[in-house]
Structure 1
């Protein structure tokens, strides 16, 4: 292919992506080799492992892993493959176990990874433990309870990789003095579309009013102002909020929150109490950023945090093939919520993001329609992601946040580094301090 994967024309304020990247098996293999073998990938949250020897198994970066606490309480990530012949050493999605034993030939490993038993081990002239050591563990690091792994020894540390985008995680965690927790239950599904389409969609404010019009109409009929509608409109499409980038492909759209739709007084009071505690601990400006704004954020390559007052979700997006994607989603909540407030959040999450909700089925249909449309890629080879390009401050319903992600994708895949489009984001409370000083 002679046309670049990504066309970034600043003179024309034109940004295009070649549709071959959504259909090509060659590009898919490059992504597995260059992106998922060398990036910080989200594994899980510490609240999922409350006790010693607790474990969860899941697929991360195309590998089966065990996310666990060992017998000392330390968090580990172990590759879920026996050193003998490759079978899984743990076949359960969750549990509490000190020893993982491969059912195929019985090799056994401590939950810290060491090989501790080989049936008929005397038949080996060199002890397998001396030859193989134990289960392989990739690099793991955490930020405020979020655990990530990296299969490369050469990648920068997690804090450097996150850079200023860690602010987005702070805003979620600081909704309670005690942080956040993962709620029970996992929403897992597949779609017949390329994984990058859902990355775009997760921070796409432009599609909300057309694709999710049923939700918007329902909220308006109930006397509520849906997120991103704001106070005014321009040609029927409200420019509420901003889109911004944080470097390394991390980006977000930030828009006015709409409080707690359909919440009763008890739920509203509970949130107000959290807000007052945040003001006492962090100041009014930071508390306003935490509670008065909503955020859809992507952390390159495939970790998504959607942070709303009435519900927060984490999402990982894994490619299974050029046109097949695995999505795993968890709901999170501030620790210490009363049961009524917790149930309110769960109901909202199911209503909007759930399997039969007002958002997820619509999004899946839109992305699968796009994937079908790529069958015409020879005749219509380019997708446009130019909306808002050239603005000093793009709005939340512009496409800066997708362009920021695509520039990092392009750099990893081709080595071509394209410059950032806008100045690095400054937290709102820091802006106020700068303005006060000026």
Structure 2
């Protein structure tokens, strides 16, 4: 496919297409591993997941096993989870508390700050191992924003704040929802799908599919007398025309739409949310609080960090390719600190019944994406996917596809070196004093 283009971006015809080889080629996947997952900022975890000294979480990040931990001094670290001796994992648990990580294979031991401290049979080495092998390695760059920790395996990549740019505003809108901050709830959703990882990127910021794919959920909510999210008056396929899509540099993008209440929430839950909104108004101004609690948001931070911020739940999701046709997904729920148990239970219930692997939304999405991957078997005859909806509009709606095109242009730049211009849309955020920034 080297002689062909991956992207058709025709501004005269308002036509945007993606070559389906991008979803099926193992050669493309290898380039992605090198040029994207090896050179961009990747999410590792939130500081609330390791609250105490010696706490740790193990993760796979961009194909690398890592330990996300606080060392014995309380400093946050990210260590590559591979023994310097013969490569085995030095930590085989998903989470816990440990001062020392010991390789199960031959017993080499490391402090949780990385230093090699014990080698069984050390006297048999003519060179002292602790002098030759300084300790567990860390990615060249580790940084955080609002409690979210990221790594970059490219020492020459721009810093995290530069990479996030203006899109970090949508992280702020999540992080500012309580005066005490936010935390990741204990528990993780892990599941896989037999589809290319980029299909899940598209799906996560796609307002066009909501009513058709998730009709069972919408019907159930309406039968129970609740207003489903994204379904109010004057909607088009489940998304209000008042919503909009946005594009940012570096492939980040967001779709926004009016938040239509709290399905099946008790009065207590509604009062808690109203209290959080009132506190935000006092701290940051009415406009910023309206953006925080009056707009629902699906954001992607390139390449595969998704933040879905709805009134009934706040989901953080990341995913990486296993192969060109399989993806491993990990998801967490974020909760404002200081809320009561009933509010937490409400959010957990929604996390399970809507976003969970056996919920009302995720299986629908998985089926849609796996059907798309299956359809790519006919790519020799039908070789291109269309991502043109809303192209040429002055203000693309939330159920248009600007946000996907923004992401694809960055993907294309990193894979081919071709720099395609943005569509020139602008987003003016509200600052934290309630004044248009």
Contact kept, 8 Å, 1:393 with 1:422, in 2: the verdict is: no
The alpha carbon displacement at 1:296 in A equals 0.5
Q: What's the counterpart of residue 264 of structure 1?
A: 266
The alpha carbon displacement at 1:311 in A equals 0.5
**1:340 is matched with which residue: 337, 342, 347?**
342
Bigger drift between 415-424 and 288-297 goes to 415-424
Q: What's the counterpart of residue 180 of structure 1?
A: 182
Q: What's the counterpart of residue 427 of structure 2?
A: 425
1:28 is the counterpart of 2:29? yes
Aligned counterparts of 2:238 and 2:85: Cα–Cα separation in 1: 63
The alpha carbon displacement at 1:432 in A equals 7.9
**2:226 is matched with which residue: 204, 210, 224?**
224
TM-score (norm 2): 0.97
Q: Deviations over 1:168-212 (max 9, x none)?
A: 000001110011100011000010000000000000000001000
Q: What's the counterpart of residue 82 of structure 1?
A: 83
**1:410 is matched with which residue: 412, 416, 435?**
412
Q: What's the counterpart of residue 278 of structure 1?
A: 280
> Cα 1:100–1:288, aligned 2, differ >3 Å: closer, same or farther?
same
Contact kept, 8 Å, 1:53 with 1:68, in 2: the verdict is: yes
Unpaired runs of 5+ in structure 1? none
Contact kept, 8 Å, 2:240 with 2:258, in 1: the verdict is: no
Q: Deviations over 1:304-338 (max 9, x none)?
A: 00001111110001001000100000011101110
Aligned counterparts of 1:216 and 1:126: Cα–Cα separation in 2: 67
Q: Deviations over 1:218-250 (max 9, x none)?
A: 222233332323421458874241000121000
The alpha carbon displacement at 1:126 in A equals 1.5
Report the RMSD for the aligned CA atoms in angstroms: 1.6
Give the alignment of 1:14-413 within 5 angstroms: 14-138=15-139, 139-233=141-235, 238-413=240-415
> Cα 1:162–1:236, aligned 2, differ >3 Å: closer, same or farther?
closer
Aligned counterparts of 1:230 and 1:395: Cα–Cα separation in 2: 15
Count, aligned residues: 435
Aligned counterparts of 2:189 and 2:283: Cα–Cα separation in 1: 34
Q: Deviations over 1:254-299 (max 9, x none)?
A: 0000121111111111111111111111011101111111000000
Aligned counterparts of 1:235 and 1:70: Cα–Cα separation in 2: 50
The alpha carbon displacement at 1:422 in A equals 2.6
Aligned counterparts of 2:436 and 2:45: Cα–Cα separation in 1: 36
Bigger drift between 281-290 and 118-127 goes to 118-127
Q: Deviations over 1:99-155 (max 9, x none)?
A: 101111111100000111111212222211221211010121000100001111011
Unpaired runs of 5+ in structure 2? none
Aligned counterparts of 1:49 and 1:238: Cα–Cα separation in 2: 39
Bigger drift between 402-411 and 229-238 goes to 229-238
> Cα 1:143–1:40, aligned 2, differ >3 Å: closer, same or farther?
same
TM-score (norm 1): 0.97
Aligned counterparts of 2:236 and 2:103: Cα–Cα separation in 1: 61
Aligned counterparts of 1:103 and 1:432: Cα–Cα separation in 2: 55
Aligned counterparts of 1:101 and 1:358: Cα–Cα separation in 2: 42
> Tell me, what secondary structure is at the counterpart of 2:279?
helix
Aligned counterparts of 1:235 and 1:296: Cα–Cα separation in 2: 17
The alpha carbon displacement at 1:215 in A equals 1.1
> Tell me, what secondary structure is at the counterpart of 1:188?
strand
Contact kept, 8 Å, 2:207 with 2:239, in 1: the verdict is: no
> Tell me, what secondary structure is at the counterpart of 1:355?
coil
Contact kept, 8 Å, 1:229 with 1:240, in 2: the verdict is: no
The alpha carbon displacement at 1:428 in A equals 4.0
> Cα 1:233–1:302, aligned 2, differ >3 Å: closer, same or farther?
closer
Q: Deviations over 1:82-102 (max 9, x none)?
A: 000001100111110001011
> Cα 1:127–1:236, aligned 2, differ >3 Å: closer, same or farther?
closer
Aligned counterparts of 1:52 and 1:398: Cα–Cα separation in 2: 46
Bigger drift between 288-297 and 426-435 goes to 426-435
Q: What's the counterpart of residue 6 of structure 2?
A: 5
Contact kept, 8 Å, 2:60 with 2:66, in 1: the verdict is: yes
Off by >3 Å, runs of 4+ in structure 1: 233-238, 428-435
> Tell me, what secondary structure is at the counterpart of 1:248?
helix
